[in-house]
């Protein structure tokens, strides 16, 4: 492979802002290799078209040496990236178009009866960053109505399904599977594809990403099974494996969100205890818990539910112990243990937040120890 197209390389021609707007974070070499192994394992070594519809510098074309009997096609909306890739991979056929507009095989000159494998790493953004969130609002890429979504990556999945790709071997945020709203938004993809292989890794492996909080990314090998793909319940039951060798499943635990209100309600009355909107573990890393002033993100605490909110507040104190791959999970709770520790949890949390609950006597050291053991043992059970 030419030196200039090292997988995982930074798109050097783009500023940090442009990288975020275009979702230009290129794939690390080891995941390109892994995809190659999966293609080989499934006998996809000849008479196939391998398409990367958003190829950047062409990290996935490192596979051309491994599969000389397949035809490789690259495309990107970024002309400079396409020029670089064209210089590095003369055997690959390139296009420079918006992959989400007028989506059909014809746009790449691929016949309807050709076995098509989509590979790559579609553009997606780290929605965990408010800075990046603001930047993204300024871009509104054109896309077909049937691939439209609020996220370029989810739209890309819809486009792969619209192309009727036989296999899709791509990287995408694990949140596309785990979060029901995302899963439903890309429903036309997931209902048609089964996940044959996968591995989960941290977004921090991408060169040039924020070192603050990694989010889980999955590299998955999907096979087309029209109307016999994945349902959300399959995802809930699925055991995911990380590159470090850990495994986890959504269904392995109970979550505190089952017992409280997560989002602000329209019928909110004034007064009462307020808590910041609850999303997932990664959001809690950055958000506040109890609030002493009303905001649009404030949830009014139902008094009987206060111990659960106090539990979330105490959980946040140990959140650095939660591994990156659980970042999209709701806050887990071990109900049996929690019931035994309720009083300590409430006492510690209320003492920490005198601005909300008024000044209270400091709870005994034993209460702090009980809370610590409760939270850490819960984290240990899921991690
Ligand atoms: C995450 S990078 C992946 C690049 C490459 N596939 C890899 O794995 O290294 C996403 C790429 O999508 C491209 N892109 C963004 N929007 C696009 C669009 N609407 N059509 C085609 N490419 C697009 C960006 O320019 C960027 O190169």
Please tell me if the CB atom of residue 25 comes closer than 6 angstroms to any atom of ligand 1. Answer: yes
DSSP symbols for 93-121:
EEE-S-TTSS-SGGGGT--TTSEEEEEE-
The rounded distance, in Å, linking the Cα atoms of 231 and 202 is 25
The rounded distance, in Å, linking the Cα atoms of 178 and 57 is 30
Domains of the chain by residue range: 3-251, 254-382
Q: What is the pLDDT of residue 267?
A: 60
pLDDT, averaged in runs of 10, over the chain (383 residues): 52 72 80 98 98 96 97 97 96 97 98 98 61 48 91 96 98 96 97 98 82 86 98 97 96 94 70 91 95 92 96 97 95 97 98 96 97 96 82
For 26, 34, 172, 327, 375, the CA distances from 203, given in Å and listed in that order, are: 11, 17, 10, 11, 26
The rounded distance, in Å, linking the Cα atoms of 214 and 204 is 5
The rounded distance, in Å, linking the Cα atoms of 145 and 278 is 31
The rounded distance, in Å, linking the Cα atoms of 132 and 79 is 23
Specify whether the CB–CB gap between 281 and 327 falls below 8 A. Answer: yes
Q: 């004034």: which residue's tokens?
A: 270
The model carries a pTM of: 0.89
The Å distance, Cα 178 to ligand 1 centre, comes to 23
Question: To test ligand 1's pocket by mutation, which of 7, 19, 22, 118 has the most ligand atoms within 8 angstroms of CB?
Answer: 22
CATH of 3-251, one of 1.10.150.530, 3.50.50.60, 3.40.50.1370, 3.40.50.150: 3.40.50.150
Question: To test ligand 1's pocket by mutation, which of 28, 33, 53, 56 has the most ligand atoms within 8 angstroms of CB?
Answer: 56
Q: How many CB atoms lie within 10 A of CB 296?
A: 6
Q: What is the pLDDT of residue 15?
A: 72
- Ligand 1 atom 13: residue of nearest CA: 54
Q: What is the pLDDT of residue 143?
A: 93
The Å distance, Cα 25 to ligand 1 centre, comes to 8
The rounded distance, in Å, linking the Cα atoms of 253 and 281 is 14
Specify whether the CB–CB gap between 79 and 99 falls below 8 A. Answer: no
The Å distance, Cα 58 to ligand 1 centre, comes to 10
Residue 28 CB partners (closer than 8 Å, separation 6+): 7, 8, 205, 206, 207
Q: What is the pLDDT of residue 127?
A: 36
Listed residue (248, 242, 247) closest to 199, CA to CA: 242
Q: Report residue 94: phi and psi, to 5°.
A: -115, 150
The rounded distance, in Å, linking the Cα atoms of 250 and 232 is 11
The Å distance, Cα 22 to ligand 1 centre, comes to 7
Q: Which atom of ligand 1 is nearest to the CA of 81?
A: 27
Q: What is the pLDDT of residue 138?
A: 47
The Å distance, Cα 52 to ligand 1 centre, comes to 9
């Amino acid at each position: 492979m030419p030196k200039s197209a090292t997988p995982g390389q930074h798109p050097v021609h783009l500023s940090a802002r442009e990288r975020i707007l275009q979702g230009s974070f290129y794939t690390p070499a080891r995941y390109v290799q892994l995809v190659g192994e999966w293609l080989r394992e499934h006998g996809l070594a000849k008479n196939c078209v391998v398409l990367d519809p958003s190829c950047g510098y062409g990290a996935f074309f490192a596979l051309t040496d491994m599969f000389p009997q397949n035809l490789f096609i690259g495309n990107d909306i970024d002309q400079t990236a396409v020029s670089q890739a064209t210089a590095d991979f003369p055997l690959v056929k390139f296009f420079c178009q918006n992959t989400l507009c007028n989506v059909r095989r014809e746009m790449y000159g691929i016949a309807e009866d050709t076995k098509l494998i989509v590979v790559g790493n579609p553009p997606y953004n780290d929605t965990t960053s408010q800075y990046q969130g603001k930047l993204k609002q300024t871009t509104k890429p054109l896309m077909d109505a049937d691939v439209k979504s609020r996220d370029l990556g989810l739209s890309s999945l819809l486009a792969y399904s619209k192309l009727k790709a036989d296999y899709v071997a791509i990287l995408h945020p694990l949140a596309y599977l785990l979060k029901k709203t995302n899963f439903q938004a890309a429903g036309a993809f997931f209902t048609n594809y089964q996940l044959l292989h996968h591995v989960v890794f941290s977004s921090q492996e991408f060169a040039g990403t924020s070192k603050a909080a990694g989010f889980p990314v999955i590299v998955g090998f999907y096979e087309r099974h029209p109307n016999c793909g994945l349902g959300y319940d399959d995802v809930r039951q699925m055991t995911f494996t990380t590159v470090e060798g850990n495994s986890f499943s959504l269904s392995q635990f109970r979550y505190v969100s089952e017992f409280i209100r997560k989002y602000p309600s329209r019928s909110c009355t004034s007064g009462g205890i307020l808590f910041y909107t609850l999303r997932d573990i990664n959001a809690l890393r950055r958000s506040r818990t109890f609030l002493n002033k009303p905001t649009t993100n404030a949830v009014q605490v139902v008094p009987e539910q206060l111990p659960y909110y106090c539990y979330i507040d105490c959980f946040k104190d140990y959140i650095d112990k939660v591994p990156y791959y659980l970042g999209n999970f709701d806050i887990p709770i071990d109900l049996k243990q929690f019931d035994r520790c309720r009083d300590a949890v409430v006492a510690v949390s209320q003492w920490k937040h005198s601005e909300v609950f008024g000044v209270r006597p400091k709870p005994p050291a034993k209460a702090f120890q009980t809370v610590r053991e409760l939270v850490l043992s819960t984290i240990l059970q899921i991690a």
